[in-house]
Amino acid sequence: MNILKTPLKTGRMDLKNRLVMPPMASSKATEEGRVTPQLRDFYAEKSAGGYIGLFILEHSYVSIEGKAGKGQLSVSDNRDIDGLKDLAAIIHENGSKVMAQISHAGGSAKSEITGKRVLGASAVVVPRTGTVPEEMTGQDIRKVIDDFASAAVRVKQAGFDGVEIHSAHGYLLNQFYSPLTNRREDEYNAFTVENRLKLHLEIIEAIRNAVGKDYPVALRLGACDYMQGGTTLQDSVMAAQILEKAGIDMLDISGGLCGSARPGVKEQGYFSELAEAVKRSVGIPVMLTGGITDAAYAERLLKDNKADLIGVGRAVLKDSLWAKRAI
């Protein structure tokens, strides 16, 4: 049996196959973060034929201070909704489902792009960007929680099949989760995994209250920093169980402060050890990404119970017919 072709049915998620196009920044939005004809054409081409079961749209900022870079898509304003509706409709018409990933860059933002203060979990260097943000106050944190909840409502209003919270690749929630970037001394401190997830749980609760208990909510977890003193696989097994209990419907496993690649490892599925351990610890679907370019290898990862869903990014980005051949 070809598992890649089989449907995935859970309480809140119903996908026709196990292939996912994960979020990848296209930098095709306007300066204000709005959808452009180029962005519509991009997703029309990638979703043509409906061979991909699920699209997770590129990371979209929940507030201007959370913007990561030029050309990034916005979910920070009600004026974004019409353009987002266009993207959801295009992907649906081609036969696939689509989630939107909502994100705050935190200390990975740049004030020359946002025109705002750079805020993070703590005033320490953020790896990969080298920036030192201001430590967020309680008021800043409450605003972030509201911004994520409002963004999720816009995603639902735009007709998406679900929303994914971004907590990986050195962005804000990853900064709270990692002991390397969380040196706080309040209730959000890094002394326990539960404390490091406190902001996550408050955002999940706010989103659930805003979109309802039946709307699918996923989370991309930076499950290991691969840095001394950083987040470990053991942390993330515990975190996965906490997040499942909080109402997360799917976990999308990736790298933490190291980014979307695993240092020193080039082989396909380089986060498979993380996904496999998380999958063994939870009952919700687990998605694996990481350099997967071969359909047969994707199938093997599924058969070996490394994950329930396979994200193929760069291969689909380079070749829009990859999914057709794979399925």
What pLDDT, on a 0 to 100 scale, did the predictor assign at position 12?
87
What pLDDT, on a 0 to 100 scale, did the predictor assign at position 114?
97
* Architecture of the domain delimited by 3-326: Alpha-Beta Barrel (3.20)
Burial class (CB in 10 A: 0-12, 13-18, 19+), 93: exposed
Annotated active-site positions, please? 171
Helix (H) or strand (E) holding 218: strand 217-222
pLDDT in tens, 62-92: 999 999 999 999 999 999 999 999 999 999 9
Tokens 């002991």 sit on residue: 179
pLDDT in tens, 104-163: 999 999 999 999 999 999 999 999 899 999 999 999 999 999 999 999 999 999 999 999
The token pair at 142 is: 């409450």
pLDDT in tens, 185-221: 999 999 999 999 999 999 999 999 999 999 999 999 9
The token pair at 241 is: 């169980």
pLDDT at 22 over 80: yes
Cα dihedral 204, 208, 213, 219, rounded to 10, equals -30
Among residues 278, 185, 265, the alpha carbon closest in space to that of 231 is found at 278
What pLDDT, on a 0 to 100 scale, did the predictor assign at position 11?
78
Q: Are 29 and 61 in contact (CB under 8 A)?
A: no
Per-residue confidence band for 241, with pLDDT thresholds at 50, 70 and 90:
very high
Rounded to whole angstroms, the Cα distance separating 277 from 289 reads: 14
- DSSP assignment, residue 121? S
What pLDDT, on a 0 to 100 scale, did the predictor assign at position 7?
97
The token pair at 149 is: 């909840």
What pLDDT, on a 0 to 100 scale, did the predictor assign at position 10?
84
List all residues 6 or more positions away from 203 whose beta carbon is below 8 Å from its beta carbon.
144, 145, 148, 149, 165, 173
Burial class (CB in 10 A: 0-12, 13-18, 19+), 112: exposed
List all residues 6 or more positions away from 189 whose beta carbon is below 8 Å from its beta carbon.
182, 195, 196
Per-residue confidence band for 1, with pLDDT thresholds at 50, 70 and 90:
confident
Per-residue confidence band for 249, with pLDDT thresholds at 50, 70 and 90:
very high
List all residues 6 or more positions away from 199 whose beta carbon is below 8 Å from its beta carbon.
141, 144, 145, 173, 176, 188
Count of beta carbons in the 10 Å neighbourhood of residue 181: 30
Q: Are 149 and 206 in contact (CB under 8 A)?
A: yes
Rounded to whole angstroms, the Cα distance separating 311 from 277 reads: 17
250 forms bridges with which residues in the sheet? 218
**Pairing label, strands 217-222, 162-167:** parallel
Count of beta carbons in the 10 Å neighbourhood of residue 185: 10
Q: What is the mean pLDDT of residues 30-42?
A: 98
List all residues 6 or more positions away from 107 whose beta carbon is below 8 Å from its beta carbon.
118, 119, 120, 121, 126, 129, 131, 132, 133, 170, 172, 175, 181
Tell how far CA 215 is from the center of its chain.
16
pLDDT at 280 over 90: yes
Rounded to whole angstroms, the Cα distance separating 77 from 99 reads: 18
What pLDDT, on a 0 to 100 scale, did the predictor assign at position 143?
98
> What is the residue extent of each domain of the chain?
3-326
